């Protein structure tokens, strides 16, 4: 009975353990590649030794990985799914108004958890490496969230052509075109019919006057066309990433300018009036309006996280001014 309770016990993950788990899994991906699935049965005991902690469930590591993947997708949708958000590039944290958070938390309690516990810079970097999509620029491109066992492996073998005696496929092709051009340049070439030209290049074999078929073999290296296409895809992806970074940077700058404007500050003040924290006809309200003429104080007011804290800050400023 006690063992059943122990298995049903919810695991407690500290921030340090979560970050260590991401680093542990990223090292595994670096060593084995993204096409290798996680061997949870052997990985969990190894991780338990690293963090010096024994989990009650043998699926604790996998469950945490699945949960982090959902949290990562939610974080990306909050960060990239809206325009005009307040984003602090130095701390890499969302600086949104309470009204925005209130809208997002409706019907999703996980958003409220992210609001008061946003992932650190280190965790965001580990998440991007662990769950970010792979770049489609070559073979073995599989996103880490995919199950690599569902993909059919393609093995490219360097085969030898046993049916062509003493020459490979490239030599045969080069000789054909050289002989063809020589024959075309001969004076009587124009008098030959297509069938007669073809007969001149039939290569007889022992006991048989018919040309021996040449089997086309796939080579282990890329052809020129495939190499050019791969380079084009790689360059195209780099250009897209660069363009995305520029757009995000411009959007962030525009967002900062709009957020800390007088209109933005007064909007937050009106929100406090609607919440009953002050009235528009009292001295504190007029004091705040005059205070917002200073861009530094205006930015400080907006960056305070809660309306009650903003009210206390305004009251202190008013007392110091008096």
Q: Are residues 82 and 20 in the same domain?
A: yes
Residues 228, 147: Cα–Cα separation, whole Å: 29
Q: Is residue 297 part of a domain?
A: yes
- Count of domains observed in the chain: 3
Neighbouring CB atoms inside 10 A of 172's CB total: 13
- 33, HSE (Cβ side, Cα atoms, 13 Å): 7
Residue keyed to tokens 């353990």? 17
What's the confidence (pLDDT) of residue 181?
58
**Three-class secondary structure of residue 208 per DSSP:** strand
In a domain, 23, yes or no: yes
The residue to which tokens 């903003």 are assigned: 310
Tokens 């969302």 belong to which residue? Answer: 94
Q: Is residue 3 part of a domain?
A: no
Pairing of strands 87-88, 93-94: antiparallel
Distance, CA of 142 to CA of 133 (rounded, Å): 8
pLDDT of residue 50: 93
Provide the residue range defining the domain that includes 191.
Answer: 172-200
Q: Which of 214, 205, 219, 226 is nearest to 175 (CA)?
A: 214
Please give the distance of CA 231 from its chain centroid, rounded to a whole number. Answer: 20
* Residue 146 pLDDT: 44
Is residue 207 included in any domain, yes or no? no
Assigned domain for 216 exists: no
In whole angstroms, what is the distance from residue 127 CA to residue 136 CA? 19
Using CA atoms, how far apart are residues 157 and 144, in angstroms rounded to an integer?
A: 27
Tell me the mean pLDDT per 10 residues along the chain, length 322: 54 90 93 89 93 92 93 86 67 83 81 86 92 51 44 42 47 56 55 56 53 52 71 82 72 60 86 88 90 88 88 90 84
What is the predicted pLDDT for the residue at 29? 92
């Amino acid at each position: 009975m006690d063992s059943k309770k122990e298995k049903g016990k919810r695991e407690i993950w500290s921030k340090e353990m979560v970050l260590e788990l991401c680093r542990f899994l990223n090292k595994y991906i670096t060593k084995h590649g993204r096409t290798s699935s996680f061997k949870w049965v052997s990985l969990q005991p190894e991780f338990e030794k690293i963090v010096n902690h024994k989990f009650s469930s043998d699926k604790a590591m996998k469950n945490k990985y699945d949960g982090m993947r959902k949290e990562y997708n939610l974080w990306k949708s909050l960060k990239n799914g809206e325009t005009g958000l307040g984003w602090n590039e130095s701390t890499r944290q969302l600086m949104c108004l309470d009204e925005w958070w209130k809208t997002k938390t409706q019907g999703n309690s996980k958003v409220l958890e992210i609001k008061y516990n946003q992932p650190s810079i280190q965790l965001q970097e580990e998440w991007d490496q662990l769950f970010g999509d792979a770049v489609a620029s070559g073979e073995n491109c599989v996103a880490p969230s995919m199950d690599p066992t569902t993909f059919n492996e393609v093995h490219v073998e360097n085969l030898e052509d046993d049916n062509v005696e003493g020459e490979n496929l490239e030599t045969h092709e080069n000789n054909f075109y050289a002989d063809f051009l020589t024959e075309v340049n001969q004076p009587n070439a124009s008098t030959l019919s297509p069938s007669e030209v073809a007969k001149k290049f039939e290569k007889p074999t022992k006991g048989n006057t018919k040309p021996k078929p040449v089997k086309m073999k796939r080579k282990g290296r890329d052809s020129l066309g495939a190499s050019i296409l791969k380079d084009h895809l790689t360059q195209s992806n780099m250009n897209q990433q660069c363009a995305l970074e520029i757009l995000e940077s411009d959007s962030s700058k525009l967002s900062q300018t709009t957020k800390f404007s007088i209109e933005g500050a007064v909007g937050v003040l009106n929100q406090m009036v609607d919440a009953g924290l002050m009235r528009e006809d009292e001295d504190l309200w007029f004091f705040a309006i005059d205070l917002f003429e200073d861009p530094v104080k205006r930015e400080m007011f907006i960056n305070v996280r809660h309306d009650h804290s903003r009210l206390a800050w305004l009251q202190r400023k008013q007392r110091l001014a008096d």
